[in-house]
Amino acid sequence: MYAYVGGNPIMWVDPLGLQNAPPGMTRTETGGLAVDFRYWLNRALEALALPISAPVAAAVQARSFYDMRRDNTKFNDKYFHCVANCQSSRAAGSTAACAVAGAREDSQDLIERHHEDRQADEAANAFGRNGASEGGSCQQQCSQFIVDGINPRYLPGGQ
């Protein structure tokens, strides 16, 4: 099982199922690992753009946080985390969205001490960022996190 990622689905990612190499590496014809310079160049370019894109990601995530507080449905936060990260990834890139979401989680740890909830929040954040490149609305991408009682205005196709 998980042969497409070398038996390690936590550390190795291969959404197309084409290779079993960690991010930033490729398999050579002889089966060895080689550095994928295009991958690292793209990561470096994303990091250089971070000072410009982070405020955009922060604004998008702040709007979703405001919507979550206004909705006030118990246990709805994972849906809003997912949607915020999906939307901010589309608006500013996944690196900026990840940086802003991480900073928000860090600040919440300091203020509210929510360590036990952080892992679930981060999983919803990552799910949203990963779904940002797929078609469809972010609300639809994150629909698995919807809870009963959420205001219909925040649902896929909501008014």
The total of other beta-carbon atoms located within 10 Å of residue 109's CB is 13
pLDDT at site 23: 65
Enter the tokens of residue 91.
């608006």
* Angle, alpha carbons 95-73-76 (nearest 5°): 30
Q: Dump pLDDT digits (tens) for 17-74.
A: 565 666 677 777 887 878 877 777 776 766 676 677 888 888 999 998 888 888 887 7
CA distance 31 to 21: 10
Q: Which domains does the chain have, with CATH numbers?
A: 1-35 (no CATH), 47-154 (1.10.132.110)
pLDDT cut 90: percent of the chain above it: 23
CA distance 61 to 128: 12
